[in-house]
Structure 1
Amino acid sequence: MANSAPPPPGVYVPAVVFFDENEELDLEAIKAHVLRLARGGVTGILVQGSNGEAQHLSHDERKLTIRLTRETLNQNGFEHVLVIAGTGGQSTKESKKLCEDAKEAGATHALVLTPGVWAPQMTKERILKFHRDVADASPIPVMIYNFPVVTAGLNLDSDIIGELGQHPNVVGTKLSCADVGKLHRLTSTLPASKFATFPGSSAVFLQGLISGSAGVIGALPNVAPKAHAELYRLWKEGKMQEATILQAMLGHADWELQKLGSIAGIKAIVTKHFGYGNTNVRGPLTPRDLEAAGAAATEKLEQLIALEKSL
């Protein structure tokens, strides 16, 4: 725990996983996706974030996809690309086990979602205890994952996350609430050398950087990793006008992706435009038919993909 450090700043992507027609893991499609993301310049890949259908996978499948991601990166010269694993379970015991599995499979950091089944009983004290207990036991540094949509509305405020940030093995957070005010409170309270604060949406990528974020962990880099790496480069070079124009494009495309259903939408877009994968998801999710959605539903995404292919 003494050597716990946050992941380096940059662009991170919660990668989708692909399934065959029997809803079994499509390993070749998963590898193809990992390689396109790495070649697109991402800093790290989050395996089993919400876009990775973590709750739809068995423990063995979760461990397999982490290992497959790490091995695929290593075998293709991308040893420097980090692998972060989503390790939130519905009990403290399960979450601890998932952190151990993640370490064994090659992840450097764990992203821990707050249990949401018993939301009315998840008081501030119980939330703090859960995350501290997991952080105490985890063999790798942990980050706090705040995503009210998938935790029955539980929305950790900056006070709770700030308290957890004092733990020596808690090194960051992903704010899928996309609350820039909360993000700025955290970045101005916890030093970046100890705690990395990431927005969980490309719609506030640049806004987060201005407020001191460590980058982004968002769904849209599944579609356009190069465009996100380009925005990050523009920001670092102080080219704010160009960065602002690109941010507008990301914001519009991210909104379209949300309306397409995010996970199913990502798979449909990737399959259509990048020559691998398929639209299969695990039930109760259902595939997305882009033709049925109509051209207007993906107009901004198409513009972003044209830019992506030009970079």
Structure 2
Amino acid sequence: MSAPPQGFYVPAVLFFDEAEEFDFASIKAHILRLAEGGVTGILVQGSNGEAQHLSHEERKEAIRFTRETLDSNGFQNVLVIAGTGAQSTRETKKLCVDAKEAGATHVLVLTPSTWPPQMSPENILRFHREVADASPIPTMVYNFPVVTAGQDLDSDIIATLAQHPNIVGTKLSCGNIGKLHRLASTFPASEFAVFAGRSDLFLQGLMSRSAGTIAASVNLFPKVHREIYKLFREGRIAEAMELQAQLGHADWAVGRIGGIGGIKAIAQKHFGYGGKWVRGPLKHVEYDALTGKHVQKIEEMIKLEKSL
């Protein structure tokens, strides 16, 4: 089983109408803007895709619609990865099967978090191995303490999982560059791809041998990420670091103005599609009501994005 290719991926937001039903026109517009911006792949139902707020049928439909939109518009080379995190091993296995049927090539699996006291290292290993054994497509380990009740898988656990033949990568949203470097320097990216889970670690991760990034701010700035990746591959590190510094400030700013709701509000304001609606208990964001330095950093980066 092969790892996802190196590059930059987006955990895409999913747009709803005011009744919290899929807004397919806006979802399509977003998918195409991301593909035109050069993304290597789209992660459907990552943490920004509100996976836990969707039914099984909705999750499958979102994957299918993403794959069909890409294929029918000449972007067959853009991968679709599906988030399949759930609170039981049984349900996670089912979501992996659904993901393959809907057109995903890989799945990204969160560690269950309902019963953190019972999630010993041995139980974490058992869970991910059982899912990987049953999954019809390669799996990746998703480490994001914020959404897994503080569980933070260390490099020893992830390195042990990397030896499973159907576990081919990891997304590290913990922001631990030391962990990333240890894993990326242990395994070839073609066999086990280590992705930074944040844009403010994109270049630093690449310099530490990561396979790239899967990061929320790619929703807004795909061309900026493309430019950093291009500069890195050309060996123009000083220029890449300058651009990375600007991206780091913008990435921080995006996180301060409302998370998923903030990303949707920015897209609506600056790219002319979508809406602010999220599924509860998340809160929507009124972009025009925002002020201060964070909005300034975002708008500076939007201007750069549109110039590329």
> What TM-score, normalized to structure 2?
0.99
Q: State the alpha-carbon separation in 2 of the partners of residues 284 and 87 from structure 1.
A: 21
Matched, 1:100 2:84: no
Q: State the alpha-carbon separation in 1 of the partners of residues 307 and 57 from structure 2.
A: 39
**What displacement does 1:296 show?**
2.8
Q: State the alpha-carbon separation in 1 of the partners of residues 244 and 259 from structure 2.
A: 19
Residue of structure 1 in register with 2:4 after alignment: 7
2:259 corresponds, among 257, 262, 266, to 262
Supply the RMSD in Å over aligned alpha carbons.
0.7
Q: State the alpha-carbon separation in 1 of the partners of residues 294 and 246 from structure 2.
A: 15
Matched, 1:154 2:151: yes
Q: Which amino acid aligns with 1:161?
A: I
Cα deviation, 1:141-200, whole Å, max 9, x if unaligned, reads 000000000000000000000000000000000000011000000011122221000010
Query: Secondary structure of the residue that 1:198 maps to in structure 2?
Result: strand
Q: How many residues align?
A: 308
Q: State the alpha-carbon separation in 2 of the partners of residues 272 and 195 from structure 1.
A: 38
Q: Which amino acid aligns with 2:143?
A: N
Residue of structure 2 in register with 1:229 after alignment: 226
Residue of structure 2 in register with 1:277 after alignment: 274
> What TM-score, normalized to structure 1?
0.98
Query: Secondary structure of the residue that 1:32 maps to in structure 2?
Result: helix
**What displacement does 1:295 show?**
4.4
Matched, 1:17 2:14: yes
Matched, 1:48 2:57: no
Tell me the percent identity.
67
Q: State the alpha-carbon separation in 2 of the partners of residues 85 and 218 from structure 1.
A: 14
Matched, 1:27 2:17: no
Residue of structure 2 in register with 1:164 after alignment: 161
Cα deviation, 1:199-243, whole Å, max 9, x if unaligned, reads 100001000000000011000010010110110000000001110
Q: List gaps (5 residues or longer) in structure 2.
A: none
2:76 corresponds, among 76, 79, 92, to 79
Please say which of residues 288-297 and 68-77 is displaced more in the overlay: 288-297
Matched, 1:57 2:36: no
Residue of structure 2 in register with 1:241 after alignment: 238
Q: State the alpha-carbon separation in 1 of the partners of residues 188 and 160 from structure 2.
A: 13
Please say which of residues 100-109 and 23-32 is displaced more in the overlay: 23-32
Q: List gaps (5 residues or longer) in structure 1.
A: none
Query: Secondary structure of the residue that 1:174 maps to in structure 2?
Result: strand
Query: Secondary structure of the residue that 1:257 maps to in structure 2?
Result: helix
CA contact (8 A) 2:161 2:167 kept: yes
Residue of structure 1 in register with 2:207 after alignment: 210
Residue of structure 2 in register with 1:300 after alignment: 297
Q: Which amino acid aligns with 2:218?
A: P
Q: State the alpha-carbon separation in 1 of the partners of residues 189 and 280 from structure 2.
A: 40
CA contact (8 A) 2:6 2:189 kept: no
